[in-house]
Amino acid sequence: MSQPQKGICAEPNLHAQFLHYNVIDEDEQAIRAKLARVLDIFDHFDNEHYEAMVSGVICIGSDYFSELYPGLRPIELSPFPDMQCDDRIAPSKTCDLLIQIRADRLDIVHAISMEVHELLHLHVELIDDIRGFRYLDGRDLTGFIDADDNPRGLDKKAVAVIGEEDPDFIGGCYVHTQKYLHDMRRWQLLSERRQEQVMGRTREHHLLSEEANANSHYIRSRVTDLSDSQGRQHLLRQSMPYANMSEQGLFFVSHCHSSQPFRTMLQSMIFGMQADEYDAFLDYTSAQTGGAYFAPSLDFIKLRAQS
Ligand code: HEM
């Protein structure tokens, strides 16, 4: 049985680090072997510090995948769907490798990141290094609870992990990321009522806003077929806020058994179904990057470490 990587369905953590790398040599054999050792690093810290709820996900960029693992390819693995309409842009900046590291202790996240970096550094260039954190009770920096409607329990695996539909990649997962930069000054100038209209949710109790309309972020998801007849989402969101004194935003991460739901939602946000029905939240935040990755099962990574 091909087990998914532990971080795919993990519960939200307090801290995270997202290491983005491009590979600078052609020693794929060494990279395959070292990625299996990254899994050992995750396990080691998880065993030593079980209270920190350590998890991680090794993600391979859509272009680099066939170089690293020539031969088979996940059926739906394709480049990031870069889109643009007026000033709403979803740029594509997929790296060769993305290592997601999550834990409830910042020191442990840092220690794992250092070991992973030390292991890989001869073969890679560090492109971006984003530190995520849990903000208040799971809110985005805009003040709204994010991912409250995520699938729960067993539904998580059904949504995020590939099953029999792609027999060579059972246990794998499609990962999409976008680094959103919020214009917090403009956002904070809005009244609470207008903010709730933009999001489509109430800030305090996280209910459907009475002011919600076709441009509300939440409604953009509802008008697509992103949930099943029981209202279960087809996308597991594992995003985290990031911030320093000059930049604040959300590092968006989705895990899914298919690459289609992310594409559909992004299209709904940027273009809408009809003219001017785009996601109004994009007037207050902008995507700086976009990545399409594949997170193979544990068995897939380990089996190919020797080849
Ligand atoms: C800065 C970026 C974003 C922020 C701050 C944000 C925030 C939110 C918030 C507050 C909600 C309301 C309810 C909930 O989370 O369950 C929501 C819903 C949702 N968001 Fe986002 N979001 C962002 C980007 C995205 C992107 C890029 C996608 C996918 C392409 C996405 C997909 C969804 C979906 C599918 C829902 C609906 C959940 C449902 O219908 O139950 N979001 N988002």
Orientation of helix 106-120 relative to helix 28-48, angle to 10°: 160
**What amino acid occupies position 296?**
P
User: How wide is the angle at C-alpha 291 spanned by C-alphas 295 and 91, nearest 5°?
Assistant: 170
User: Could you report the per-residue pLDDT of 252-261, keeping only the tens digit for each?
Assistant: 999 999 999 9
The mean pLDDT of 143-159, rounded to a whole number, is: 90
Q: State the SS3 of the chain.
A: CCCCCCCCCCCCCCEEEEEEEEECCCCHHHHHHHHHHHHHHHHHHHHHCHHHCCEEEEEEECCHHHHHCCCCCCCCCCCCCCEEECCEEECCCCCCEEEEEEECCHHHHHHHHHHHHHHHCCCEEEEEEEEEECCCCCECCCCCECCCCCCCCHHHHHHHCCCCCCHHHCCCEEEEEEEEEECHHHHHHCCHHHHHHHHCECCCCCCECCCCCCCCHHHHHHCCCCECCCCCECCEECCEEEECCCCEEEEEEEEECCCHHHHHHHHHHHCCCCCCCCCHHHHCEEECCCEEEEECCHHHHHHCCCC
pLDDT score at 292: 98
**164 in Cβ contact with 171 (< 8 Å):** no
With the most atoms of ligand 1 within 8 angstroms of its CB, the residue from 174, 183, 218, 266 to mutate is 218
**Nearest CA residue ID for atom 10, ligand 1:** 146
Q: CA–CA separation, 205 vs 52, rounded Å? A: 29
The mean pLDDT of 103-118, rounded to a whole number, is: 98
Residues involved in catalysis: 146
pLDDT score at 231: 59
pLDDT classification of 228: cutoffs 50, 70, 90: low
Report how far ligand 1's centroid is from the alpha carbon of 279 (Å).
11
Single pTM value for the model: 0.96
Evaluate if residue 218 carries a pLDDT over 70. Answer: yes
Evaluate if residue 1 carries a pLDDT over 80. Answer: no
Report how far ligand 1's centroid is from the alpha carbon of 185 (Å).
21
Structure tokens at 129: 């290094």
**Nearest CA residue ID for atom 24, ligand 1:** 252
User: Could you report the per-residue pLDDT of 169-217, keeping only the tens digit for each?
Assistant: 999 999 999 999 999 999 999 999 999 999 999 999 889 999 999 999 9
Report how far ligand 1's centroid is from the alpha carbon of 187 (Å).
17
- Mean pLDDT, the chain, integer: 94
The mean pLDDT of 81-90, rounded to a whole number, is: 93
* Residue 31 phi, psi dihedral angles, 5° rounding: -65, -45
Evaluate if residue 281 carries a pLDDT over 70. Answer: yes
**Is residue 147 within 6 Å of ligand 1 at its C-beta?**
yes
Structure tokens at 4: 């998914």
Q: Closest by alpha carbon to 172, among 264, 299, 35, 53?
A: 299
